[in-house]
Structure 1
Amino acid sequence: MTHPTSPLIHTTGAATFGKCNAQNQRLFSVNPGISGVEAMEHTSLLMSCVNTLSFHGAMDDGSEAMRWASHYLSEMAKAVIDDLTMGLQQAQEGNAALSL
């Protein structure tokens, strides 16, 4: 059985992060058109930093800065993953329309 090759996934630019005021407006967003492979590589690096910071923060009761840094980095990584998920859904919808 052959499987159709999946199209190259890109970021959509729809995901946002960085709540910043009383209205919880988002300050940052993922840029559209970034290769999914490159975006996932960057996300992996972000998560590596999160893992390191959260581990060190857990070992040091006085290190609030490490906990906040890991929180913000994980929020960035989540936004990239959410955005790539939207890109994957769009690609699948496009493939479904092409097969009709």
Structure 2
Amino acid sequence: MKTSLEISTAGGATFANCNSQGSPLFRVNAGISCEEALEQASLLMDCINKLTLRGGMENENGTVVWAAHYLGEMAKALIDDVATGLQVAQGGGA
């Protein structure tokens, strides 16, 4: 029987910075399975690919571009937090 190490998100990555101080509006939650987090990041990246293709084919006054931008921020935060979780699991700290 193969034993797998459960690695989870660290909960430190943020996205959607706002206001003049650049305060983050959202944060990746700690304790989410890295496998599930990467699955969500993959789904977000699929949406980004579809939106940017559509944006390249049509001119919608930037609506599609902004949607892709926010989805990209979310996907990046998930991937960054998974990387931190992997470092913690390997004993490297956060």
Same fold per superposition (TM over 0.5): yes
Q: Which of 2, 19, 22 is the matching residue for 1:24?
A: 22
State the superposition RMSD in angstroms.
1.5
1:51 is aligned to: 49
Structure 1, 61-70 or 40-49: larger mean CA deviation: 61-70
Gaps (5+ residues) in structure 1? 95-100
Letter in 2 for 1:65: T
Q: Distance in 1 between matches of 2:60 and 2:26?
A: 29
Higher CA-based Rg: 1
More helix by share: 1
3-state SS of the aligned residue for 1:18? strand
Q: Distance in 2 between matches of 1:62 and 1:42?
A: 27
TM-score w.r.t. length of structure 2: 0.89
Q: Which of 7, 14, 17 is the matching residue for 1:9?
A: 7
Q: Distance in 2 between matches of 1:6 and 1:25?
A: 37
Q: Distance in 2 between matches of 1:46 and 1:61?
A: 22
The answer to whether the 8 Å contact 1:18/1:27 transfers is yes
1:98 is aligned to: none
Letter in 2 for 1:15: A
Q: Distance in 1 between matches of 2:26 and 2:45?
A: 18
TM-score w.r.t. length of structure 1: 0.84
Runs of 4+ in structure 1 displaced over 3 angstroms?
Answer: none
Query: 1:53-72, aligned counterparts within 5 Å?
Result: 53-72=51-70
